[in-house]
Each structure stands twice: as C-alpha cells, then as structure tokens.
Chain A
Amino acid sequence: MTVKLASYVLVLLLAITLNFLLPRLMPGTPLRFFVGDDVALLSQESVRELMAQHRLDRPLWEQYLHYLWQLVQGDLGYSYQERKPVLAVLLERLPWTLLLTGTALVLSTAIGVTMGALAAWRHGSAFDALVLSLFVLLDSMPSFWVGMIFIAVFAAHLGWFPIFGAQTPWAALTGWEYLLDILKHLVLPVLTLTLTTISGTFLVTRSAMLGVLGEDYIRTARSKGLSEFRVLYRHALRNGMLPVVTVFMINLGFLVSGATVVETVFSYPGLGRLLYEAVLQRDYPLMQGAFLLITVSVLIANLCADLLYSRVDPRVRV
C-alpha cells in the first residue's frame, strides 16, 4: 500500500512539475502562457512588469517553490478567457463531470458484471458468443463516433433527447421539471460512455467466473442442491469479483479519458469539455488547472479502489 501510495504521490508531483515546466521550456516568452497571445502587443515596460508579477524573472527553482506554495493555497492561477480564478471555473464544472462519469461507472460496472457472469455461466452457448462479439465490437468503436451517431439518430432525427448541454438554457425550470430536464440531457452522454467502457468489466468478469466455476467448491454448492442463482451470485461471483475490482480501477482512467471526448461531443459542461475549450482558446492556466484536477480525481478514485480491494479480499493487507 505504501508503495502504491508512493507511486500516486509521484504521479501527482509529475503532473505538477509538467504543468510548471511546459510553459517555461517552450520556445518564445513564457508570458504568453500566463496572459494570452496579446502579450505581443504590449510595450516592453508592461511586459517587464508582468514578468515580475508572475515571478518569471526569478531563478527556476525559486519559481518552482513559489508555484508549489500557490498550489497548496489553492491558487491555480487566473483564467484570462473566463476572467475568473481558475479554481472557481473548475469547481463550477466538477459536479457535471462527477454526475456523468459516476452514473456511467455504476451502469457499466453493473451491466458488465451481470452479463459477464451470465456469459461465463452459459459458456460456449449462442448467448455467450453473441454478447462476447457485441462487447468486443463496442470496445473497438471510438466513443465520439458513437456519440455523434446517437445525436444524429436520437436527438436530431427522432427528437427524443436534446442535442447538447446539461440543461435547457434560460428555461428557469424548478423542482421536478428541472430534474427531468437534467436527466434528459444526461441520457445520451451516459449511454455513450457506458457502452464504450463496458467491455473491460465484461471480459474480466467473464474470464474470472470461468475460472471460479470450475472450482470444487462450486460443485459442492451445486450438489448441496442450491439453486443455480444462489450458486452463481452467492458463491461464484464473490470470488470472481476480485479481478473485477482491479478492472474497475483501470476503467476509472479510461472513463475520465472517455468523458473528455464524450463531453466534447455533447457540449456537456464538465471538466473534459473545459479542457477542450481551454485548448481551443489557448487559455493555458485553465488548461493546466483542468488537467491537474482530472489527475487528482483519478488518483483519489484509484486510492478508494485500493482500499475497497483490501475490504473485498482480506488477504490483501493495507
């Protein structure tokens, strides 16, 4: 666990250091990464002033220490496009990403585990082959493409769901109507993200269950006269769940990456979409903040999964 923890801290430091070094090592003045491309239009004097303000005239190590100190204080810089502190912009967007990825994660794990267990139980049947090929095919599809097709079919042509965003703009809905509106906007992005991340869970559950179902204690359970349902879900799945938790962790990373693309397709106002907008508008402080927050969320999620793992499998010590 300490080893794991150490590598997470290392990842975090690496992300921070990368954020620190990238703008400073690129050719040209680093100032344009702090205040925007307008820096070319400024006078020598104001450039010098701004350089001093951002401490870019100090030695690199001093800048680095100052940068770390700022981060500790929660100061992620100033977004020159949004004209707000980066942290404020990020916190506005974070709930939407949590809603989207959280829902997709729960759905994709639930469906993946259930289908994986069923496919293993009916190993070699037509159902197994069908579900297996379906999920392998889904795994090969780019999530943004699936999203675009969903928008074309279900939003633009059938008109069942809204085309973009997380809520109807300027509608000023309240109560149940507001909730329903958010739910309607959530359906297609969640469906896209779920379908394109399900196969990992499915494949691992299936192969783990195939291993477990061949064990002696399963035969014992069956010969005791327990129902197939009980054997499958109470006896086999419990042990088959171990590798699933591992995949769950790996999926977190994929989910976040997937969410970046899916949010962009659906113009969903989460962190991934923010990252994309920041790149488009060359808003580097915002881009770095979004990247840092995404990294921190993935690390926290990994940590939770590690703790969960030791709860599921008492043999693993924390």
Chain B
Amino acid sequence: MKSVLSIIGLTILGVLGGIAIFTPAPYDPHERVSAPFQPPSPQHWLGTNDIGQDIFSEVVHGTRTSLLVGMLAAFLAVLIGVIVGVIAGYSGGSVDTLCMRAVDVVLVVPFLPLMIVLAAYLGPSLLNVILVIAALTWARPARVIRSQVLTVKSLLYVEAAHAVGGSFWHLLRWHIIPAIVPLAMTQFVTVASGAILIESSLAFLGLGDPVQKSWGTVLYYAQARGAFLTGAWLWWVVPPGALITLSVLGFALVGYALEQRTNPRLQYN
C-alpha cells in the first residue's frame, strides 16, 4: 500500500518534471498568437485567452514557474529550519527557548493574510514570493529537526564522543547531519507541497510575478475575465487547477511515503 502510494507520487512528479523540462511550449506565452477567446483547436490545444495568448503554452510555462517556486521556497524553508533546529537542539537552555518561541509565533500567524500584506509592500516578483513563503513555512521543519537533534544528543555514544572532546563540528558532521538528512528530505517534500499551493493562491490574488506566469496566474486572468461564466472554464480553468492539484498530491504522497520510512515511531506500525 505504502509503496503503491510512493510510486503514484513519484510518477506524478516525474511526469510534471518532464513537462517542465522537456516539453517545448508551442508558442510564446506572452505573445498574442490568435484571436481571443478561441475554443480548443488543433493549433491551440487549450484555446486562447482574453488577449489571444495560447493557454496550452501558458500552462506549460506555468509548470516551470510553479515547480521552481515551490521547490526553491521549500529548500530555503528547510535550510532555515535545519539551522534553527540544530542551533536550538544543540544549545538547549535560553537559546532553545528563544528559537521555539519564534517557532510558536510563526505557527500562529495567519499566513496568507500576512503574505498578502508583505507581497503588497514588496511588490510582485518571483524572488519576493519565494522569500515570503520560506519566511513563513520554516517553523514546522525547525521543530522536527530540533527534536531529532535532542534525540541524537542524548544517545550514549554521542555523549561519549562529546565527553572525549569531540567539537561541535565533529558531532555535526558525524552524528547530527546523518540523523537529520532523511527528516530534512521528508520536510522538503512536505513543504514543497504546501509552497506550491501557497504560490498558486498568491498568484491567483494577482500578487505573483506578472512576467513569470505560473498556474495561479493563468487562473487569475481566467477569474478576472469571467471564464467560468462561459464554456471556457473547461479548457481555461480546469487544466491549470488540475495540475496544481496533481503536483501538490504528488509531493504529499512522496512525503507520506518518506515519513513512513524515516519516522522511527511509524516504522514498526
């Protein structure tokens, strides 16, 4: 059952990655290539949007943007999470308390409204979107990594290594990092799943990068031009949303499978 889920997840991600890397968009998604509001045809598989851009090309282009943003934001978030988690777990005491209080704060903040406010001030750019997502999603990874570091630190042979004068860097290199890498990978996949969803929401609200169209951007224009009031929703609204769902699902399934493997508490269930 678990391996089936991970195979489904990996297949979904493989196909989407393949689209992102290898599928050439037939047209420039920023060029007007046909009459506006065209239904699907052999030239334009998903028809054209309100100003005559090819929707299929937009969606292919959006695959690149959405996956890239999701993965970069997740990477950054997990990086922050690992640094905070290791520092908190290793130091203990007031440093630990301080870090965990920060984690609590980030977890309680209503993230989308805050992101909207931040994005509104910082202006719409891909980099800002990535930074804002990372700044608000590192808390969960930090918490997981910290508790793993605490576990590692209390192992007898690690205590022994510490007692005979093993430095922080020695412990980090030989004991802590090997123990947290699997967890960090799981967190990366899980955060990526959420980050794609958040990016699409921001882009849908018109706060994404207007130059780098993502799936959410396509849906933003579909909403703004009332695509769901006509038959156009079938080829303008359904495909980008279905791809968002698939990618979120793909990452979530792989994350679930990884968690079963890496979480010692779940291993023997």
| Residue interface bits B206-246, CB-to-A below 8 A is 1, else 0 | 11000000001001001100001110010001101100111
Q: Is the CB of A256 within 8 A of B233?
A: no
Q: Is the CB of A136 within 8 A of B252?
A: yes
Q: Is the CB of A295 within 8 A of B121?
A: no
Q: Is the CB of B201 within 8 A of A7?
A: no
Q: Is the CB of B109 within 8 A of A149?
A: no
| Chain A residues with CB below 8 A from B206, complex form | 279-280
Which residue in chain A gives the minimum CB-CB distance to B248? A140
Check if B113 is an interface residue, CB within 8 A of chain A: yes
**Which of A105-113, A166-174, A222-230, A260-268 forms contacts with chain B?**
A260-268
A306 CB → nearest B CB, Å: 11
| Residue interface bits B111-122, CB-to-A below 8 A is 1, else 0 | 111101110110
Where the two chains meet, the residues of A that have a C-beta atom closer than 8 Å to any C-beta of B are: 6-8, 10-11, 14-15, 18-19, 22-23, 26, 136-137, 139-145, 148-149, 151-152, 156, 163, 253, 256-258, 260-261, 264-265, 272, 275-276, 279-280, 282, 284, 287-288, 290-291, 294-295, 298-299, 302
Q: Is the CB of B114 within 8 A of A156?
A: no
Query: Can you pick out 20 interface pairs between chain A and chain B where the beta carbons lie within 8 Å of each other?
Result: A7-B104, A22-B121, A137-B245, A142-B241, A148-B237, A148-B241, A149-B228, A156-B233, A163-B229, A253-B111, A257-B111, A258-B112, A261-B204, A264-B204, A264-B205, A279-B205, A282-B120, A290-B113, A291-B114, A295-B110
Q: Is the CB of B112 within 8 A of A142?
A: no
| Chain A residues with CB below 8 A from B116, complex form | 260, 275-276, 279, 287, 291
Q: Is the CB of A22 within 8 A of B117?
A: yes
Q: Is the CB of B108 within 8 A of A302?
A: yes
A154 CB → nearest B CB, Å: 11
Cα distance, A69 to B240, chains bound together (Å) = 47
| Chain A residues with CB below 8 A from B117, complex form | 18-19, 22, 275, 287-288, 291
Which residue in chain B gives the minimum CB-CB distance to A137? B249
Query: Of B105, B109, B117, B245, which is in contact with the most chain A CB atoms at under 10 Å from its CB?
Result: B117
Chain B, interface size category, equals 35 or more
Cα distance, A301 to B114, chains bound together (Å) = 17
Q: Is the CB of A148 within 8 A of B219?
A: yes
Q: Is the CB of A279 within 8 A of B207?
A: yes
Which residue in chain B gives the minimum CB-CB distance to A6? B101
Which residue in chain B gives the minimum CB-CB distance to A299? B108
Cα distance, A163 to B233, chains bound together (Å) = 14
Check if B200 is an interface residue, CB within 8 A of chain A: yes
Cα distance, A148 to B197, chains bound together (Å) = 16
Q: A15-B109, A23-B121 are in contact. Are A140 and B252 (CB under 8 A)?
A: yes
| Chain A residues with CB below 8 A from B108, complex form | 7-8, 11, 253, 298-299, 302
Where the two chains meet, the residues of B that have a C-beta atom closer than 8 Å to any C-beta of A are: 101, 104-105, 108-114, 116-118, 120-121, 193, 197, 200-201, 204-207, 216, 219, 222-223, 228-230, 233, 237-238, 240-241, 244-246, 248-249, 252-253
Q: A7-B105, A260-B113 are in contact. Are A149 and B245 (CB under 8 A)?
A: no
Q: CB < 8 Å: which of A148, A275, A282, A291 contacts B228?
A: A148
Which residue in chain A gives the minimum CB-CB distance to B200? A142
Cα distance, A18 to B245, chains bound together (Å) = 33
Q: Is the CB of A140 within 8 A of B249?
A: yes
Q: A136-B252, A139-B252, A256-B110 are in contact. Are A149 and B238 (CB under 8 A)?
A: yes
A284 CB → nearest B CB, Å: 8
Q: CB < 8 Å: which of A23, A141, A149, A294 contacts B233?
A: A149
A13 CB → nearest B CB, Å: 10
Q: CB < 8 Å: which of B201, B228, B230, B241 contacts A261?
A: B201
| Chain A residues with CB below 8 A from B241, complex form | 141-142, 145, 148-149
Cα distance, A279 to B200, chains bound together (Å) = 17
Q: Is the CB of B201 within 8 A of A144?
A: yes
| Chain A residues with CB below 8 A from B240, complex form | 145
Q: Is the CB of A295 within 8 A of B113?
A: yes
Cα distance, A260 to B198, chains bound together (Å) = 12
| Chain B residues with CB below 8 A from A142, complex form | 197, 200-201, 204, 216, 241, 244-245, 248
Cα distance, A264 to B220, chains bound together (Å) = 11
B73 CB → nearest A CB, Å: 16
Cα distance, A145 to B121, chains bound together (Å) = 26
| Chain B residues with CB below 8 A from A279, complex form | 116, 120, 205-207
B227 CB → nearest A CB, Å: 8
| Chain B residues with CB below 8 A from A156, complex form | 228-230, 233
Q: A22-B121, A279-B205, A287-B120 are in contact. Are A295 and B245 (CB under 8 A)?
A: no
B244 CB → nearest A CB, Å: 5
Which residue in chain B gives the minimum CB-CB distance to A139? B252
Q: CB < 8 Å: which of B105, B112, B223, B238 contacts A265?
A: B223
Cα distance, A83 to B233, chains bound together (Å) = 37
Cα distance, A152 to B233, chains bound together (Å) = 7
A281 CB → nearest B CB, Å: 11
Q: A10-B101, A142-B204 are in contact. Are A149 and B237 (CB under 8 A)?
A: yes
A197 CB → nearest B CB, Å: 13
